[in-house]
Amino acid sequence: MVDVTIPAKGGQPSGLGRLAVLGLQHVLVMYTGCVTVPLVFGAAAGLDAATIAVLINADLLVAGVVTMIQGAGVGRFLGVRMPVMAGAAFTAVTPMILIAGEYGLQAVYGSMLAAGVFGLLIAYPFAKAVRFFPPLVSGVVITVVGLALIGVGVNLVVGNDPKAADHAAPSRLALAAFVVVVILLVARFGRGFLAQTGVLLGLLAGTAVAVPLGLVDFSAARTADWIGVSAPFHFGAPEFPAVAVLSMCVVMLVLFAESTADLIAVAELTGKRLSTADMARGLAADGLSGVLGGVMNAFLDTVFAQNVGLVTMTKVRSRHVATIAGGILVVLGLVPKLGALVAGLPQPVVGAAGLVMFATVAAVGIDTLRKVDFDGTHNLLIVAVSIGFGMAPEVAPDLYSRFPEGVGIVLGSPVTSATLLAFCLNLAFNGGSPRRDAGLARVPVAEVRREAPAGRTGA
């Protein structure tokens, strides 16, 4: 692991070279989670490797820009000015897949663009009304996000085409099992920074084993350019179906709730007094990611919890480290050959790594709910109903098939339906009062997030 012994002055490292090394460490911790989102979405949407490579590069570019804004700040409007990393959020994956299937990719990025504008407009009001999204609500949503994505990971492992000759082939299952074993071994025996790279090492090891099986295709990487940037609106002019926009706006509210918890955690770690204006600027950067993502074919970003854990471990509290890390992400996003190389990873390998990460997201949600007081309250019923009805479309995809067109996009997404239900039930039973809503945990957020797992990338 990089030597991170910090001189005096509040954990502020000095020297451009040292900042670059520490920034690279942040990038390595979050890189796998960041690129997994375009890999999973691209495969589920039936995109070819070359198109997925475009999404990967756009994803890294936008994440880098938003991270730099969070670290350096832009006037009084954008950026929390703390050492936080932004990256693609798993929360948006399921709604994006549903929108792509119903309306097409132009609607995916149109609704993302609209949600970004919505996020910019409500950042300050949300910062003042954050009590309406206590851990009771966010815990339900994070749990459902992880559970809903498990099916996506499994489909990547067995194959999306049941009629294919290699569908659920023992070789695919064995390869996926090997990746999971590598991740477990690294977690069990790795130390320090190495222990946080289990998913990355699992991807590399699985790809190496997949080569002789004929599951690796890097042909797109051979023809890709070394330097370039994805064209705005790669899939055509954006479209704005009302139900798709509504669904993505709900996702933006969920991302705000997630980022709020992590921003509070980093503020506690750095000793910064986080005002409502600070919080609003940090959330506005998430909103900006929607605007940039909608234009550049990327994804909604949120604060990455695993990097909060890295700040805890290294005690490096300089926001300039995050700014440099954002610059590194921008550079990576300008290398199409790298994106094409990642896009060529075999689906069973990506699915296995994703399965671990998605299940970890669900576990983070469960851990969040552990902070909720269930004694003498209706909170257990709220959790049960929200998760039960939220997950119903996942096990019965045609549940809303006879409803008016577009209803399935909102209610058919476990993320949006669980969010709406948990939010409304919490208001109905607890009224959003901090004293009555046991969902507002008394445990400091930094303590809750201290050991943020590598799989939590904005979920």
Instruction: Give the integer Cα–Cα distance in Å for 119 and 252.
Output: 6
8 Å CB contact between 103 and 241: yes
Predicted pLDDT at 187? 82
Predicted pLDDT at 315? 64
Predicted pLDDT at 312? 58
Predicted pLDDT at 419? 83
Predicted pLDDT at 308? 63
Predicted pLDDT at 444? 39
Q: What is the pLDDT along the chain (459 residues), one digit of tens a residue?
A: 333 333 434 445 556 777 777 777 677 667 777 888 898 899 888 898 888 888 989 999 999 999 999 988 888 889 888 888 888 888 888 889 989 988 999 999 999 999 999 999 999 999 888 778 788 888 888 888 788 878 878 888 887 677 777 777 888 899 999 999 998 998 888 876 677 667 778 888 998 888 887 777 777 667 767 887 878 999 999 999 998 999 899 889 888 887 887 787 778 777 778 888 999 999 999 999 999 999 999 999 988 766 665 565 556 677 888 888 899 889 888 988 887 777 777 888 888 887 887 787 788 788 889 889 898 899 999 999 999 998 988 888 778 878 876 676 777 778 778 888 998 999 999 875 544 444 443 333 333 333 334 444 444
Predicted pLDDT at 307? 64
Amino acid in position 94: T
Predicted pLDDT at 196? 63
Instruction: Give the integer Cα–Cα distance in Å for 377 and 440.
Output: 13
The pair of three-digit structure tokens given for residue 194, joined into one six-digit string: 């190495």
Predicted pLDDT at 10? 46
> Residues with Cβ < 8 Å from 204, sequence gap 6 or more?
none
Instruction: Give the integer Cα–Cα distance in Å for 283 and 34.
Output: 19
Predicted pLDDT at 34? 80
> Dihedral of CA 39/453/208/57: which sign?
positive
Predicted pLDDT at 454? 42
